[in-house]
Chain A
Amino acid sequence: MTDVVAAPAAEVTVARGRGALPAWRLLLRRPTFIVGAAILLFWVVCAVFGHLVAPQDPLAQSLLATNKGPSAAHWFGTDQLGRDVFSRVLVGARSILVIAFFATLLGTVAGTALGLAMGYLGGVIDIVGGRLVEAVLALPLVIVAFLFIVAVGPSTLTVIIVIGLVFTPLIARTVRSAVLVERQQDYLASARLLGENRSYIMFIEVLPNVLPVVLVEFTVRLGYAIFAIASLSFLGFGVQPPTPDWGADISVNYGVLPAGYWWMTLFPALAIASLVVAINLVTDSIEQVIAS
């Protein structure tokens, strides 16, 4: 049988809806993204190269130079033990970023797996998972976290695990919603008609379509993680002294704040503020780009 029908589909491939620009180009056009990413990059560099960049040893105490205000020698002044606040601020980026990153990663991986299972497999997993989510949501993150830490004892690993565990059901909930949307799609029915097994469908068919959601969740949770870790450190449940840590430093030094010694708490506070704002500017930009 010869093909006398119309010429082969010589169609202009229409770039539907989306512009020709790939995602990262669009991101780079946004001022919010640039500002946020720049600040974030700065702190990441500090986290990685902290000790090399800091002008002085953040652990070096000096009994002669305690509680000195900002000066040429100490840009941010010294704290109650005579340590250089500026160096402590620079190096302090490491603990919070490391903990936040790993905690969020743990929560995201576990949460995505759980969300996929809950959304696609449904049934018992969904019911039990759902109750778990509600139970975790019944209490604010900070309280659950410090209950746990009280029980187990504060350390870097504990904080990572706690926050990761608390994030898991929250992320699972979002992923589950996205999976439920995908379940309505016919391509899953097609997969079933090909005899694909459940794991294949969950990980090869569904997961790629919910990845954008997962990415956004990761960045959003990263912001929350920093928020929570800083708060925990402030309450004394985070990194233990003498490691430089913004929250912990504030916790130690805020007692003398009413007496007028503001620099040893304000600068770490501003550091925290800048980091969280940066992350959220980045997250917001990513969300906007994905939405368009």
Chain B
Amino acid sequence: MTATETAAAGSVDDLTPTLQVEHLEVTHRVRGQDRRALRDVSFQIGRRESYGLVGESGSGKSTVALALTRYLPRNGRVSGGRISINGQDPLAMDAAALRELRARTVSMVYQEPGKALNPSIRVGRQVAEVYEVAGFDGSAAQDKAEAMLRTVQISDPGRVMGLYPHQISGGMAQRVVIAMALAAEPSLLILDEPTTALDATVEAEVLDLVAALREDFGASVLFISHNLAVIAKMCDRVGVLYAGELLEEGPAEQVFQEPRHPYTVGLLRCIPRRGQRKDAGRLDTIPGFLPPPGHTLPGCVFAPRCPIAEERCREARPPAFPVGPARSSRCYFHDAASDLPTNAPPDIQLPATRDAAEPVVTLQHLSKTFTHGGESVRALVGVNLSLERGETLGLVGESGSGKTTLARALLGLIAPDEGSVVDLDGSALAAQARRRPREQLKALQIVFQNPDSALNRRHTVRRLISRPLSRLAGLSGARLQERLMDLVRSVRLEERHLSLRPSQLSGGLKQRVAIARAFGGGPRIVVCDEPTSALDVSVQAAILNLLADLQAKEQVTYMFISHDLGVVRYLSDRIAVLYLGKIMELGPAETVFAGPHHPYTEALLSAVPSIDGQRAERIRLQGEIPSAADPPSGCVFHTRCPRRLPTGVCETSDPPLAEVAPGHLMSCHIPIDQLTILQRTEQDGD
């Protein structure tokens, strides 16, 4: 059942809202100074309604959740406003009443489910504890706990009850946490980034579960996330938080289709949509940066970054203007919001790619097996892949797919198994980076996911960027300085950043430094390993634009790894889909997305929520991703494949990666024409 149908069915039950927040203000005391985390936040959630709170980092969305259950950190307090849950005020309660509230009325589900469970107590006992608090005795609580585990679709709940948290997977742990949350039959269920730590297909399962259970249990839901697509899928209404203030609010579909606040407009434009490509229809960005925490700007909090801001906006904070039934926007110019001038860079000309001559990188029979105490884990199995000059190859896969291992093997950070061939321009690359000559090191560089880890926090930016210039490009003196400044400009940094250390820069700036460093030696191939996954959406857009610009300017080939299909589609010319160390599908980006696809690709695509609107029937994959230590026989995907052939060939024989159309390869026993028919009949055209 979709979000909108639920809203229509359920919201007339009872007129008292489950949750009412009025002018909420939360302050933290840091180093002797007060910092306001939330300011004048007001919203309400009706019975059986699902409300999404969306925001980037620093927006304060988690603080809202903590304030509601009075679990703010020691240095935090509610400094203003009122909260009402089912008509009661949690801020005025004594300890006993608060416990009662937490036990029966409000439940929370957090990110990182593994950590939310006590590692020293068995799973069953922890779930049963909820029932004990509700008044059931020992064995009755155990029985109910087992029943609840079955409700959250854990098969064989009896066995799971006896396990310890470290013995279950992330997806299962999150189901257990959801079971604990719903066992209390709460009126309000709060979910704070519940699926951020999970793989795409597992995430889809969990979200579906939450939607179904919400129906059955009749709870109101507060869903907090930075992922707009997930919110669009799960919520009836949505509130957009920015720097501690609620800027826009309203029914989810309306807010996302016709946003009425410049921030929301900007945010939505940052997300790559179908039809946008890195060279045509480029991403918009939001210029400027978040105000520092604890700021006390007088006017609209978004004014410094708003393209249509005027004096009025900077002087007086806009009130929440009603812009429709149950809709509001904190902007004087909310009518003009949708015509917000765009910040998108103009289309660019990419290098004429792929003279069908030599591929620049060739990988053949690339395998990597990790042995750890008797157990061997197959991270990569016989991968054959080539990179064409000037293209962007997107690598897609969930955990255990081997995509990171592949990149590291290519770079020489991990030594592949015997018999693997890794060639650059036709000549073999030594297995270890240490043994590679400077020319080869120069040609292959990487941008890592986490800039905190990728930049030496004790070195200055100048040193970080200069090092490859001297080591790889062999520059020194004036020429080095010249090239340094050139690079700094290319990544939109400023000279004053050079004397700073990474800890003094924001995530986006740090990643620019990392990119400058990668390009310093003049590489021909740059591997981007989830370069924007750790960044906010608005920052991500700027970095993606930068990567495209650099590709045009420096004529490089990219290997782009990401779990975010939207981003991969935006940037890539070709896409390779990996599962458990094998390539399932490889082909031009649009073809892989449009279909016919490999069943795994199909499932993956249907699992990822898209802000453009729902796909048709979601493909549900059974079970969890198998462990790479004990991979399935035959086709590695057969254990979860919904299109598994009844002849049994999928279990016994591993399909080769074969060309099913020019430039399009697939590893599947089902003939391509059959796949085309099967997939077309199930889709509403795509």
Sample (26) of A-B pairs whose CB atoms are under 8 Å apart: A1-B348, A5-B545, A6-B287, A6-B542, A8-B494, A9-B493, A11-B289, A11-B506, A11-B509, A14-B504, A18-B503, A19-B31, A21-B31, A184-B453, A186-B448, A186-B450, A187-B456, A189-B446, A190-B446, A193-B444, A193-B446, A194-B467, A194-B521, A195-B433, A195-B434, A208-B456
Identify the 4 closest CB pairs spanning chains A and B, nearest first. Answer: A208-B458, A186-B454, A187-B456, A186-B448
**A195-B545 CB under 8 A given contacts A9-B494, A10-B288, A18-B503:** no
Task: Contact check, B512 vs A9: say whether CB atoms are below 8 A apart.
Answer: yes
Contact with B along A11-25 (1 / 0, CB 8 A): 111111111010000
Task: Contact check, A195 vs B441: say whether CB atoms are below 8 A apart.
Answer: yes
Q: Judge whether B99 is part of the interface by a CB distance below 8 angstroms.
A: no
Task: Contact check, A4 vs B448: say whether CB atoms are below 8 A apart.
Answer: no
Q: Judge whether A240 is part of the interface by a CB distance below 8 angstroms.
A: no
Closest to A6 in B: B287
**A186-B453 CB under 8 A given contacts A9-B512, A192-B434:** yes
Least CB distance from A197 to B in Å reads 8
Q: Judge whether B599 is part of the interface by a CB distance below 8 angstroms.
A: no
Taking a contact as CB atoms closer than 8 A, the residue among B287, B433, B552 that contacts A193 in the complex is B433
Least CB distance from A290 to B in Å reads 14
Task: Contact check, B346 vs A187: say whether CB atoms are below 8 A apart.
Answer: no
Task: Contact check, A4 vs B346: say whether CB atoms are below 8 A apart.
Answer: yes
Q: How far is the CA of A21 from the CA of B31 in the complex (A)?
A: 10
Q: Judge whether B29 is part of the interface by a CB distance below 8 angstroms.
A: no
Q: How far is the CA of A5 from the CA of B497 in the complex (A)?
A: 19
Task: Contact check, B454 vs A13: say whether CB atoms are below 8 A apart.
Answer: no
Q: How far is the CA of A7 from the CA of B305 in the complex (A)?
A: 11
Q: Judge whether A205 is part of the interface by a CB distance below 8 angstroms.
A: yes
Q: How far is the CA of A184 from the CA of B453 in the complex (A)?
A: 8
Least CB distance from A279 to B in Å reads 27
Q: Judge whether A185 is part of the interface by a CB distance below 8 angstroms.
A: yes
Name the residue in A4, A189, A190 with the highest tally of chain B Cβ atoms < 10 Å from its Cβ.
A190
Task: Contact check, B505 vs A13: say whether CB atoms are below 8 A apart.
Answer: yes
Task: Contact check, A8 vs B468: say whether CB atoms are below 8 A apart.
Answer: no
Q: Judge whether B457 is part of the interface by a CB distance below 8 angstroms.
A: yes
Total inter-chain residue pairs, C-beta < 8 Å: 109
- On chain B, the residues within 8 Å of A57 by CB distance are none
Q: How far is the CA of A191 from the CA of B436 in the complex (A)?
A: 13
| Residues of A participating in the B interface, judged by any CB pair closer than 8 Å | 1, 4-19, 21, 184-187, 189-196, 205, 208-209
Q: Which B388-421 residues have a C-beta within 8 angstroms of A?
A: 408, 411-413
Contact with A along B328-360 (1 / 0, CB 8 A): 000000000000000101101000000000000
**A190-B454 CB under 8 A given contacts A5-B549, A14-B504:** yes
Task: Contact check, A12 vs B287: say whether CB atoms are below 8 A apart.
Answer: no
Q: How far is the CA of A10 from the CA of B411 in the complex (A)?
A: 34
Closest to B446 in A: A193
Q: How far is the CA of A195 from the CA of B468 in the complex (A)?
A: 9
Q: How far is the CA of A12 from the CA of B512 in the complex (A)?
A: 15
Name the residue in B285, B433, B450 with the highest tally of chain A Cβ atoms < 10 Å from its Cβ.
B433
Q: How far is the CA of A197 from the CA of B452 in the complex (A)?
A: 23
- On chain B, the residues within 8 Å of A11 by CB distance are 288-289, 505-506, 508-509
Q: Which B464-522 residues have a C-beta within 8 angstroms of A?
A: 467-468, 471-472, 492-494, 497, 500, 503-506, 508-509, 512, 517, 521
Task: Contact check, B456 vs A209: say whether CB atoms are below 8 A apart.
Answer: yes
Least CB distance from A212 to B in Å reads 10
Closest to B467 in A: A194
Taking a contact as CB atoms closer than 8 A, the residue among A9, A190, A193 that contacts B492 in the complex is A9
Closest to A10 in B: B288
- On chain A, the residues within 8 Å of B459 by CB distance are 208
Task: Contact check, B471 vs A190: say whether CB atoms are below 8 A apart.
Answer: no
Task: Contact check, B441 vs A5: say whether CB atoms are below 8 A apart.
Answer: no
Taking a contact as CB atoms closer than 8 A, the residue among A1, A9, A16, A195 that contacts B472 in the complex is A195
Q: Which B519-545 residues have a C-beta within 8 angstroms of A?
A: 521, 542, 545
Closest to B449 in A: A186
Q: How far is the CA of A126 from the CA of B30 in the complex (A)?
A: 42
- On chain B, the residues within 8 Å of A191 by CB distance are 456
- On chain B, the residues within 8 Å of A192 by CB distance are 412-413, 433-434
Q: How far is the CA of A191 from the CA of B441 in the complex (A)?
A: 11
Q: How far is the CA of A15 from the CA of B31 in the complex (A)?
A: 13
**A5-B492 CB under 8 A given contacts A12-B289, A16-B503, A195-B472:** yes
Task: Using A186-B450, A191-B456 as known contacts, list a sample of 4 further A-B pairs with CB atoms less than 8 Å apart, ordered by residue number in A.
Answer: A14-B504, A187-B456, A190-B517, A208-B456
Q: Judge whether B73 is part of the interface by a CB distance below 8 angstroms.
A: no
- On chain A, the residues within 8 Å of B444 by CB distance are 193
Q: Judge whether B571 is part of the interface by a CB distance below 8 angstroms.
A: no
Q: How far is the CA of A246 from the CA of B280 in the complex (A)?
A: 81
Task: Contact check, A194 vs B287: say whether CB atoms are below 8 A apart.
Answer: no
Q: Judge whether B445 is part of the interface by a CB distance below 8 angstroms.
A: yes
Least CB distance from B534 to A in Å reads 12
Q: How far is the CA of A16 from the CA of B509 in the complex (A)?
A: 13
Least CB distance from B594 to A in Å reads 30
Least CB distance from B56 to A in Å reads 14
Task: Contact check, B493 vs A14: say whether CB atoms are below 8 A apart.
Answer: no
- On chain A, the residues within 8 Å of B508 by CB distance are 9, 11
Task: Contact check, B505 vs A6: say whether CB atoms are below 8 A apart.
Answer: no
Q: How far is the CA of A8 from the CA of B509 in the complex (A)?
A: 11
- On chain A, the residues within 8 Å of B408 by CB distance are 189
Task: Contact check, B457 vs A209: say whether CB atoms are below 8 A apart.
Answer: yes
Least CB distance from B471 to A in Å reads 5
**A194-B468 CB under 8 A given contacts A6-B285, A14-B504:** yes
Least CB distance from A23 to B in Å reads 13
Q: How far is the CA of A9 from the CA of B542 in the complex (A)?
A: 10
**A193-B445 CB under 8 A given contacts A11-B289, A11-B506, A19-B31:** yes
Closest to B490 in A: A3
Q: How far is the CA of A196 from the CA of B472 in the complex (A)?
A: 10
Name the residue in A1, A5, A12, A17 with the highest tally of chain B Cβ atoms < 10 Å from its Cβ.
A5
Q: Judge whether B455 is part of the interface by a CB distance below 8 angstroms.
A: yes
Closest to A188 in B: B456
Q: How far is the CA of A184 from the CA of B454 in the complex (A)?
A: 10
Closest to A209 in B: B458
Task: Contact check, A6 vs B343: say whether CB atoms are below 8 A apart.
Answer: yes
Least CB distance from A87 to B in Å reads 46
Contact with A along B419-452 (1 / 0, CB 8 A): 0000000000000011010100100111010100
- On chain B, the residues within 8 Å of A21 by CB distance are 31
Task: Contact check, B287 vs A15: say whether CB atoms are below 8 A apart.
Answer: no
- On chain B, the residues within 8 Å of A9 by CB distance are 492-494, 497, 508-509, 512
Closest to B438 in A: A195
